[in-house]
Structure 1
Amino acid sequence: MRIGFVGIGVMGKPMATNILKSGYELMCYNRTKEKISDLKDKGALVADSVEELIEWSDTIIFMLTTPEIIESTLIKNIKNLNIYKDKTIINMGTISPSFSIKLSQELSKYDARYIDAPVSGSKNPAEDGKLIILTSGDQELVKLHNSVFESMGDKITYCGEIPKASMIKLSVNLLILHMMEGFSEMINFAKKGDIDLNSLFEIVLSSQVSNDLYKMKYKNYISEEFPVQGSVKNGIKDLTLIMKTANETGAYIPLTALNHQMYLKAKDLGYEEEDFSAIIKVLEK
């Protein structure tokens, strides 16, 4: 199976690297060619255009950030959409359920098959091949690609028809973003009461509220350094998609609306490219 990979960013690069390590033929495309140089050194082919990659590949994976970029890259900028015939297209980024349906319907016009397979996890799990991968679409088609998914993740969960995987992914991200904001509020509250953070974390991380996210992030608050695993920018993107989907489905999520405003304020204060744990800087202002 020839795999094409579009979008070699913070997550896409380690994911593509692990596909290559698993022995698949791989061709990559990224608008910024420098990001692909080390993949090329490891044996990946580099496409000069998305069309070249589609024509070469059996399966095309894309890890792109917004619906607008996805649509322009995969649909609007492709001169001959018939090159999608009999190809399998896999989305592994975070998109809205409604956009996943739209993309599936659009690609089906050109006899392409579509799998919705967003990932849960950040840079480190991506590098370690330990992402959680949520899949939806034709179950037999998904099974044919499970070995590809297993090269990138250690838990592959079939969620049902499109767009169930994207809906579950947004649901999980809603909780994660609330957890980070709540953790930051707790820390800010304790600091205002002159509490030593090491003592605070000793209690919290040995209590019933301890979890892997807090264990991974608490050192950021001690060092006041926020190396990016998941950025404020991506948090804003996800919260915007969540709010849009809630509006479409009629879900009432008042805390999420407030959290969305917090992340937008972080952007206004210049923290957009920092890790989303940097949300505490908004609280400390």
Structure 2
Amino acid sequence: MSTTKIGWIGLGTMGIPMSQQLISAGYPVTVYNRSKDKEATLKKQGADTAATPAALFQQTDVMIIMVTDDNAINEIFTGKEGLLSAGVNGKIIINMSTVSPSISKEMAALCKEQGNRYLDAPVSGSVKQAETAQLVIMAGGDAAIFEQVKPVLDKMSKMATHVGDVGAGNVAKLAINTLLSIHTQGLAEAVLLAKQNGIEAATLMELLNNGALASPYMKIKGDAILADNYKAAFSLKNIAKDLRLSKDIGLSTPIGEAALKTFGAAEHEFGNDDLIAVKKYLDK
């Protein structure tokens, strides 16, 4: 059993199964979440809880954060009872959220002033991969710090890779999610084009799943379309958010900008659905 004390902030769709992997691996895990009912799920499995981010930071060695956006990160670090108010040093903070490279650079600088170290380490994969420790992790920050915490990251992933300085992990994740949006919109458009010309989605998906374009993602989202199941594994509003972050770091290519326009429009009605709900938007 590891003696590294893990602090965890953010018990959403991904945060719960990811933190459960660390509990199962024998790490002492203490959690903080604004919604206390989600903390109860982890307490049943052996996690402790902390009243505030600052209190959590004081009692753990490695802090892991998995939240939605830059605003949440800013509050967690600089809020009245945020991490930076704890007045501690010698800690490692791993921000696994999909956020902007700029917020990572800002928070890393503030952490360094206090004698703490920061890694941005977002993940590629969804709930199923989180539940089976098959995520892909891309980390930005000091390489030596990455190697120090890699055993922790390995418990949640099939691959954890250092990709560059602070912010590089965020850049890699935004590039991946830009491609994800393009694949998703492309599948939705193909299904609609086929249907407009008398070919049912089930027939098209059988062809796709047995051809050169076959992929696990194509099958998962194709099955969702066939089942009319748009429960969010990764919400449409979050892919729209990520595309806006991609735009902020220079996305200006034709297909990427088209995806940004489409998902940005679709999120007003289908934002809480899975991102494949772009098919419902296009169908209208």
TM-score interval, smaller chain: over 0.9
Amino acid at match of 2:43: K
After TM superposition, the score normalised by the length of structure 1 is 0.94
Matched residue, 2:276: 277
**1: CA distance between counterparts of 2:88 and 2:282?**
48
Amino acid at match of 1:63: M
Matched, 1:36 2:39: yes
**1: CA distance between counterparts of 2:166 and 2:158?**
22
**2: CA distance between counterparts of 1:82 and 1:39?**
24
Are 1:84 and 1:107, in contact at CA under 8 Å, matched by a contact in 2? Answer: no
- Report SS of the residue matched to 1:5: strand
Are 1:227 and 1:275, in contact at CA under 8 Å, matched by a contact in 2? Answer: yes
- Report SS of the residue matched to 1:48: coil
Matched residue, 1:238: 242
Matched residue, 1:219: 223
- Report SS of the residue matched to 1:159: strand
1:11 to 14, 22, 33: 14
After TM superposition, the score normalised by the length of structure 2 is 0.95
Task: Within 5 Å, give how 1:226-265 maps onto structure 2.
Answer: 226-246=230-250, 251-265=251-265
- Report SS of the residue matched to 1:132: strand
Q: Which moved more, 1:201-210 or 1:121-130?
A: 201-210
Q: Tell me how large the CA RMSD over aligned residues is.
A: 1.3
- Report SS of the residue matched to 1:93: coil
Percent identity of paired positions between Structure 1 and Structure 2: 29
Name the CA shift for 1:205/1:137 in 2 (closer, same or farther; >3 Å). same
Matched, 1:116 2:120: yes
- Note the C-alpha offset of 1:261: 2.1
Task: Within 5 Å, give how 1:1-285 maps onto structure 2.
Answer: 1-78=4-81, 81=85, 83-246=87-250, 251-269=251-269, 271-285=270-284
- Note the C-alpha offset of 1:253: 2.0
- Report SS of the residue matched to 2:87: helix
**2: CA distance between counterparts of 1:252 and 1:51?**
40
Amino acid at match of 1:253: T
Q: Which moved more, 1:182-191 or 1:138-147?
A: 138-147
Unpaired runs of 5+ residues, structure 1, are: none
- Note the C-alpha offset of 1:264: 2.2
- Note the C-alpha offset of 1:118: 0.6
- Note the C-alpha offset of 1:196: 2.0
CA offsets per residue over residues 159-200 of structure 1, 9 Å max, x none? 122221111111111001100001000001111111022221
Name the CA shift for 1:84/1:71 in 2 (closer, same or farther; >3 Å). farther
**2: CA distance between counterparts of 1:2 and 1:91?**
16
Are 1:2 and 1:59, in contact at CA under 8 Å, matched by a contact in 2? Answer: yes
Are 1:5 and 1:29, in contact at CA under 8 Å, matched by a contact in 2? Answer: yes
Are 1:2 and 1:25, in contact at CA under 8 Å, matched by a contact in 2? Answer: yes
- Note the C-alpha offset of 1:2: 0.5
Amino acid at match of 2:110: E
- Note the C-alpha offset of 1:23: 0.5
Are 2:64 and 2:93, in contact at CA under 8 Å, matched by a contact in 1? Answer: yes
**1: CA distance between counterparts of 2:203 and 2:171?**
38
Unpaired runs of 5+ residues, structure 2, are: none
- Report SS of the residue matched to 1:15: helix
- Note the C-alpha offset of 1:206: 1.4
CA offsets per residue over residues 48-82 of structure 1, 9 Å max, x none? 11111000011110011111111111123237635
Q: Which moved more, 1:204-213 or 1:186-195?
A: 204-213
